[in-house]
C-alpha cells in the first residue's frame, strides 16, 4: 500500500504527468508486488523559486526536469526489491515521458503496518 508524493517543476503537460503516474505504478507492481488498483499518488508542481536541488551533488548531473519521488510504504520489502524498484522507475520514466536517469530522485520511507489507515478509521493491516 505505497503512497507516492511526486514533486516537479510546473509547466509539464497532462500527458507527461500521466506517464509519470503510469510508470511509477508499473514499477511498483513489478518490483514491490503492489496489487491491482493500489494507486495512491499525488503530483505537486512548483515554480522555479520554490524548487531547489543540487545540480551536481554526488556527481549526478540534474536539470530543471528533476522529479522528486517520495514513496511511503510498509517495511516489508527486501534490499533487493528496493534496488529493483529504483532501477525500474528510472527505466520506465526514461521510456515515457523521457526523463533522464539523473533527473529521477527517489526516497523510500518505511513504516510499520499498524501505522496505516486506508479509510473508515480502521487500521486494516494491524
The radius of gyration computed from the CA coordinates of the chain, to the nearest angstrom, equals 15
DSSP 10: T
Helix (H, G, I), strand (E, B) or coil at 9: strand
Whose cell is 529521477? That residue is 104
Residue in 2, 13, 35, 101 annotated catalytic = 2
Catalytic: 2? yes
Please state, in angstroms and rounded to a whole number, the distance separating the CA atoms of residues 112 and 114: 5
Of 56, 37, 26, nearest to 118 (Cα)? Answer: 37
Whose cell is 500500500? That residue is 1
Catalytic residues: 2
Amino acid at each position: 500500500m505505497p503512497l507516492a508524493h511526486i514533486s516537479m517543476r510546473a509547466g509539464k503537460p497532462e500527458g507527461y504527468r500521466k506517464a509519470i503516474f503510469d510508470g511509477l505504478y508499473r514499477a511498483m507492481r513489478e518490483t514491490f508486488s503492489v496489487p491491482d488498483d493500489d494507486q495512491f499518488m499525488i503530483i505537486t508542481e512548483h515554480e522555479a523559486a520554490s524548487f531547489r536541488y543540487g545540480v551536481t551533488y554526488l556527481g549526478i548531473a540534474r536539470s530543471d526536469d528533476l522529479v522528486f519521488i517520495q514513496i511511503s510504504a510498509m517495511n516489508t520489502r527486501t534490499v533487493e526489491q528496493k534496488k529493483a524498484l529504483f532501477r525500474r522507475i528510472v527505466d520506465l520514466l526514461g521510456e515515457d515521458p523521457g526523463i533522464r536517469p539523473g533527473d529521477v530522485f527517489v526516497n523510500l520511507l518505511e513504516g510499520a503496518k499498524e501505522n496505516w489507515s486506508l479509510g473508515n478509521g480502521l487500521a486494516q493491516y494491524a
